[in-house]
Structure 1
Amino acid sequence: MAIQQKILVTGACGQLGTELVEALRRKYGWKNVISADVHPATDTSGLYVRLDVLNKKKLAYLVQHRGIKQIFHLAAVLSATGEQNPQKAWEINMQGLLNVLEVSKDSKVQKIFWPSSIAVFDAKGEVNPSTVYGISKAAGEQWCRYYFERHGLDVRSLRYPGLISHKTKPGGGTTDYSVEIFQEAVRSGKYACFLKEHTTLPMMYMPDAVRATLELMDAPKENITVRTSYSLAAMSFSPRDLAAHIRSHLPGFELECYPDFRQEIAESWPMIVSDYRARRDWGWQEAYDISRMTEDMLAHLMQKELC
């Protein structure tokens, strides 16, 4: 087991948070990882606190009272949900991050992890976001760099692609179809997708995303050359590509596409991203491609259907 440190995970009930908390507890011990969210606890295997990250006073008390040394700040409003209420999304995403940075600075927190996203990019791969979610992430990257350069705060970040998990429901993002398609393939044998069939986006299987997060946080400080956010990549595919791989296991699967407002968001993002800095600085290497991920997703979901 790793050296014991008190760790706080905000947004712990989300898609990434649920699996990251499990991994952190395996590594540091369940008594040393506190999960926090505005929602009721989804598991009872460890310490949990109801916390709104906009409540800076309660956040500061928790960090100081519990002797927190690392914070994984995951609380956020995602892309599709954010477009429905931009001001609320901006407040939670931006002010929540600033509260964590300020509290961490004042409380001598040793490391902070904060996730960014491919939503900071435009279709050409330039940092030119078109959604409030992407704008908040692009601005947050600069705040992370500012607190490192001005205050020496060791903030680390990853630009995640779309994340795919068999354990948790998606949380209101534009890439949510990549989880829903598996669930419906097992449940009903057909899926109505909200994106066009040829819409190609960067994706990643959750075990790779969790491992990348832990590897980044374990990397020696002198190896970290990017203090905004590291781009991260594993695979890129379209709904049509994914459906073809699902049919190799479930031959009768049917895909239909009825694009909605999320299509415009998807078209504003790049089809691929370059993550050479992550590979160079701390040895990032994905373990799952689309074939291996599809096989694993279906195996787990079909097992759940049998239970």
Structure 2
Amino acid sequence: MQLMKPLWRRISSQLVVSFRSQSRASSTISDPGSSTRTLVSNAEGDWPPRVLITGGLGQLGSNLAKELRKRYGVNNVVLSDIMKPTQKILANGPYAYADVLDVKHLHSLVVNYNIDWVVHFSALLSAIGEKDVTRALKVNIEGYHNIVEVCKSHNLRLFCPSTIGAFGPSSPRNPTPDVTIQRPRTIYGVSKVHVELLGEYYYYKYGVDFRSLRFPGVLSAGAPGGGTTDYAVHIFHDVIRTGEYKCFLREDTRLPMIYLPDCTKATIMALEAHPSVFHPEMRTYNIQGISFTPAELVEEMRKYFPNMKVTYEPDERQAIADTWPEVLDDTNARADWNWSHDYDLPKMVKEIVEKLSKST
């Protein structure tokens, strides 16, 4: 019996075919930056690609899906997660349940949705992972094993981010180069070193088109997650709501950060870049946005909240932060595929304040 296509795909099949036919006429499109870039198409030679995003209901996945749908068409980007989506998420484009621990189901998603590229965001972050190491091992390592095997089986391009947490206390901290000693002290960091090395192995051994970026702390106006750098998100929400914030890091703790639009831009640039632009010995690149301390962030925020009150009470997350880079050296990303960030600290703070002020 013939497998029935998903409802959204049957309804829009003519639109998708038309969009693909028009898009294949050119192999050069604008990248998220200011330049244009020659792109490589998917394994079948079609453009645009069909993309599956795992762990898609977090801030990274939802924002990336929004931007990719503008570029490739709404129905060519499938958002997935293990949680029930809101009606707004469902209205924005195709959504599928995807448990990264169920490899057979992952295979079926790739086949049924005709996927070309996978963006793998499913992971437990640093602070959460330390509280549940067993679950972090399953999601971050076993889940990644399943994803990379699926990509190998179906000849898919794979983007999976790494993190500043992949470095450790013996790594140089300012600046931290792309290639250096990595001995992280968190299960999140250990799992991301595993992602980097296994991805490279599958690239050299099996030809899997693996790409990765080491993300700094990713900041936005959205709800904070479970990361050590999320103090820089919590502070906006608490100060707007109460005028006060208790910071769980020391005021002089410098960490690399990136604003969400810049993070999305970097992801798209790395995802779309022609294989020839990558360094022959490098599948994982640092990307740097801005580096600042809690005290420097507070100073900038006082332009908008002059009476805000901040106290510092470091907790167990301080020990994690003390092992991480202060500044990432992203010279190679800027040289190889023209990466550049758009937001400095004043511009980011201004935009977050404006967004949160409108929503309150």
- Under a length normalisation based on structure 1, what TM-score does the superposition of the two structures give? 0.96
Structure-2 separation of matches of 1:17 and 1:59: 17
Comparing 202-211 and 257-266, the one that deviates more: 257-266
The answer as to 2:180 corresponding to 1:133 is no
Question: For 1:263-274, what aligned pairs fall within 5 Å after superposition?
Answer: 263-274=318-329
In structure 2, C-alpha distance between the alignment counterparts of 1:235 and 1:260, rounded to whole Å: 24
Residue 107 of structure 1: which of 145, 148, 154 is its match? 154
Equivalenced residue count is 303
1:117 — aligned with what? 163
Q: Which residue of 2 aligns with 1:229?
A: 284
Q: Secondary structure at the match of 1:145?
A: helix
- Alignment-derived partner of residue 260 in structure 1: 315
Structure 2 residue matching 1:175: 3-state secondary structure: helix
Is 1:90 aligned with 2:137? yes
Counterpart for residue 247 of structure 1: 302
Instruction: Return the offset for 1:61.
Output: 0.6
In structure 1, the partner of 2:106 is 59
CA apart distance, 1:128:
1.5
Q: Could you tell me the TM-score, scaled by structure 2's length?
A: 0.82
Cα offsets for 1:142-170 (capped at 9, x unmatched): 0010011011111110000000011x322
**Which consecutive aligned stretches of 4+ in structure 1 deviate over 6 angstroms post-superposition?**
none
Candidates 41, 55, 66, aligned match of 1:22: 66
- RMSD between aligned residues: 1.2
Is the CA contact (8 Å cut-off) linking 1:155 and 1:227 kept in structure 2?
no
Q: Which has the larger radius of gyration?
A: 2
Letter in structure 1 aligned against 2:342: A
CA contact 1:157–1:227 (8 Å) conserved in 2: no
2:4 alignment counterpart: none
Match runs of 1:73-88 below 5 Å: 73-88=120-135
Counterpart for residue 207 of structure 1? 261
Name the structure 2 match of 1:72: 119
Deviation at 1:34, TM superposition (A): 0.6
Q: What is the CA–CA distance in structure 2 between the aligned matches of 1:285 and 1:5, rounded to whole Å?
A: 25
Deviation at 1:4? Answer: 2.4
**Structure 1 residue 184, shift from structure 2 partner:** 1.5
Aligned residue number for residue 247 of structure 2: 193
- What runs of 5+ residues in structure 1 fail to find an aligned partner? none
TM-superposed CA distance for 1:54, in Å, is 0.5
Counterpart-to-counterpart distance in 2, 1:48 and 1:227: 33
- Cα distance in 2 between the residues matched to 1:252 and 1:246: 10
Partner of 1:299: 354
Gaps of 5+ in 2: 1-22, 24-28, 30-46, 174-180
